[in-house]
Structure formats: C-alpha cells, structure tokens
Structure 1
Amino acid sequence: MTQAFLEHANITVTDPQAFADLLCDLFDWRIRWQGDAKSDGYSIHVGGDASYIALYSRGGVTPTTNSYSTPGGLNHIGVVVPDIAAVEAHVRKAGFSPHSHGDYEPGVRFYFDGPDGVEIEVVSYP
C-alpha cells in the first residue's frame, strides 16, 4: 500500500484574496483554483502541485478563540522552506513579527501570527 499524504487543509478567513496573496508572496506558491464554495462561500486554493491550503470565507468577521484550548481548533500551519533566513527577512518586510525561534532535531524554526491570527510555523531542515 502507498503511504497516504496530506493534500490540503481548509481554513475560514476574513479575506481569502489577501491571505492567498501573502502566502504566494512569502512562499512562492500559486493560486490553484478559486471560486464559489459551499454555504454561499468563496474559496481560494493556494499552494504547490502536491498540496494546498483552502482559504474559505462567507464574508464578514468571525469571532476568534484560542485554538490551543479549543478542541478541533487550528493551532498552526507548518511550511518547510529551503532558506529560513531569507524567508524570515521577507516575513519582517511584510510587517509581521517572527517569534519562538528554535533549533530542534532535525531542523530550525520560527513562528509568526498571520492574518486572522493564524499562526504560521516556518521550518527548514539541513
């Protein structure tokens, strides 16, 4: 049997286009698809050939909660990059504040809080 892999995750956001533009800019991703979605919503699928993030909205602002204390909450998105220093500089230039830097087996990482409070982990493996 072939090992399964994660194709996508679907996240509700207030502005799918702005979030997609940021992810394309920071990670050199592309918009794979966009259009009308379930429950009168709109989605943009952004990522690469093998996987993507679906950014979904029905418009308006949704109250947020602490995902780390909410069962089923999204804690963070992890993105692997080849040059973590270059991406961190790009994240700062985009107006975000990297935090929680750390070396761990087998790589290095930092986090930043993106749009709608979605935490993004950036990681690089040697």
Structure 2
Amino acid sequence: MPTARLEHVNISVTDADRTATLLEKLTGWHRRWEGPAMNGGHTIHLGNETGYLAIYSNPSVSGGFVKGVPMNHIGIAVEDLDAAEALIVAEGLKPFSHSQYEPGPRSFYFFDRDGIEFEVVSYE
C-alpha cells in the first residue's frame, strides 16, 4: 500500500493577504508563491517545503462561510498553544472549545474573519 501525505488545501477568502498574514504569525510558515489567479483573483501558497495552504481570493468571494459546508475545520499543530491563543486574541478573534483528548494534545478553535474554523493543537 502506498504512503501518501497531504500536499495542499485550497481555501477561498475575502482577503488573501489578511488571511496569510494571520497564519504566518500563527504558524511561522512562509509564502512559497503568490500571484494572479483565475477569475481575476489572487492566490498565496503559504506553508513549508512539504505542504501548503493555497489561499485564494477574487472580487466575488463574499465570506460568511457556514461551518461544515463542506469543510468542518482546518487543524494546525503548534509548539506553544498558550502563545498561539494570545496571538489569536490580539488579532481580535475569539478562541473557544478548549479541550484535551487522546492521544493527549490540548486544543482550541477559532473562526477567522471569513467564518472558516481552525483548530489549533499542541502535542507539547
């Protein structure tokens, strides 16, 4: 059976630069590529050498996405959960659903300005 890895996920947002800047601060990822995209849009590939989040926007993206349509959330693992939460609060966003579950990571969730839900976890 072949082994696979997730190479990228592509999301639509109202402001690609705003979303990328928030996630750069949260994750330490870098902009692997950015430029013009289909339908008069702009895309930023934010990640590391093995994977990335493609952050796409165009004038018709309106935001206000509904949880679970079609995606529930994006999970991001960080080294320092408390520092990540402080950053999210400083950005004016509201963490919620703090928990710890097997195999042991602590986590919290937040919605970005477009209604996309993120889960932030730490295995430390």
Q: Map of 1:72-91 to 2, 5 A cutoff?
A: 73-91=70-88
Equivalent-residue separation in structure 1 for 2:96 and 2:52 (angstroms): 24
Q: What's 2:113 paired with?
A: 115
Structure 2 gap segments, 5+ residues each: none
Show the 5 A alignment for 1:1-16.
2-16=2-16
Q: Look up the equivalent residue of 2:30 and give its one-letter code.
A: R
The yes-or-no answer on 1:124 pairing with 2:122 is yes
The CA deviation string for residues 28-74 of structure 1, in whole angstroms up to 9 with x for no partner, is: 11111001122332101111221111111122442644232x3xx12
Alignment partner of 1:117: what SS? coil
| Whole-angstrom distance in 1 between the partners of 2:67 and 2:55 | 17
Q: Which residue of 1 aligns with 2:98?
A: 101
| 3-state SS of paired residue (1:39) | helix
Of the two structures, which has the highest relative contact order with CA contacts closer than 8 Å and spacing of 6 or more? Answer: 2
Q: Give structure 1 stretches of 5+ with no counterpart.
A: none
Aligned length: 123
TM-score, reference length from structure 2: 0.89
2:89 to 80, 89, 92: 92
Percent of paired sites with the same residue: 45
Q: Residue in 2 aligned with 1:36? A: 36
Report whether the alignment pairs 1:23 with 2:20.
no
Matching residue's letter, 1:90: L
Q: Secondary structure at the match of 1:87?
A: helix
